[in-house]
Amino acid sequence: MNPNDQLFFDETEHLLIRPLAGGDAAVLLDFYRHNRNYFAEWEPLRDEAFYTLEGMQAFIAAGEREFSAKTAVYFGLFSRESKELIGTCYFTHIVMEYFQACYLNFLLDERHKGRGLMFEGAGHCIDIMFRFGLHRIMANYCPENVRSGKLLARLGFEQEGLARDYLYLNGRWRDHILTSRIYQPL
């Protein structure tokens, strides 16, 4: 994948969507700092170094390496009006050839929840990834995270099972509901 490939850039009614790049470190840092407590329940424990400019630069640089290796795309969702970063959609562990699948993770700034922006943004990011050639996108969520479950259902994800002690989040092992969406050509 070429970082300037226009396939990975999109606009919606309210959002500008593009891969995060090195110049986004300060806005990504603000995004994570502002939402630190809000995200804590659903994120791994992070050390203080993550919440520094250098930590964000390293995070983005790792994402850019994964993008170049065609194993991940880290999208930023930016407000068309204010240009601020209001959300992220990360597609990771991309495997092509015989699998053509990946995992989706998304985060939305707490100040923007309940307005349909993640449905708008994630829906477009999913479309981009299907145009890239994926057949299956998987997204898993904690049973208590009702909002994520409802969003994934609206996005066309179907429940496939329950994985016990699936991910270590916020200092403890958490069960996850496993979902996926399969590409369905029109």
Query: Domain of 116: which CATH number?
Result: 3.40.630.30
pLDDT score for 7:
82
pTM higher than 0.85 for the full model? Answer: yes
In the predicted structure, residue 4 carries a pLDDT above the cut 70: no
Write the single-letter amino acid at 27. V
Convert the pLDDT of each residue in 70-105 to its tens digit.
Answer: 999 999 999 999 999 999 999 999 999 999 999 999
Tally of structural domains, the chain: 1
In the predicted structure, residue 5 carries a pLDDT above the cut 80: no
Pairwise CA distance, residues 183 & 87, whole Å: 24
In the predicted structure, residue 6 carries a pLDDT above the cut 90: no
Burial of 125 (0-12, 13-18, 19+ CB in 10 A): buried
pLDDT score for 56:
97
Pairwise CA distance, residues 9 & 125, whole Å: 9
Structural domain for 20, as ranges: 6-182
Burial of 13 (0-12, 13-18, 19+ CB in 10 A): exposed
Pairwise CA distance, residues 186 & 180, whole Å: 18
Residue whose structure tokens are 């919440």 = 51
Convert the pLDDT of each residue in 43-78 to its tens digit.
Answer: 999 999 999 999 999 999 999 999 999 999 999 999
Q: Please indicate, yes or no, if residue 1 is contained in any of the structural domains.
A: no
Convert the pLDDT of each residue in 101-155 to its tens digit.
Answer: 999 999 999 999 999 999 999 999 999 999 999 999 999 999 999 999 999 999 9
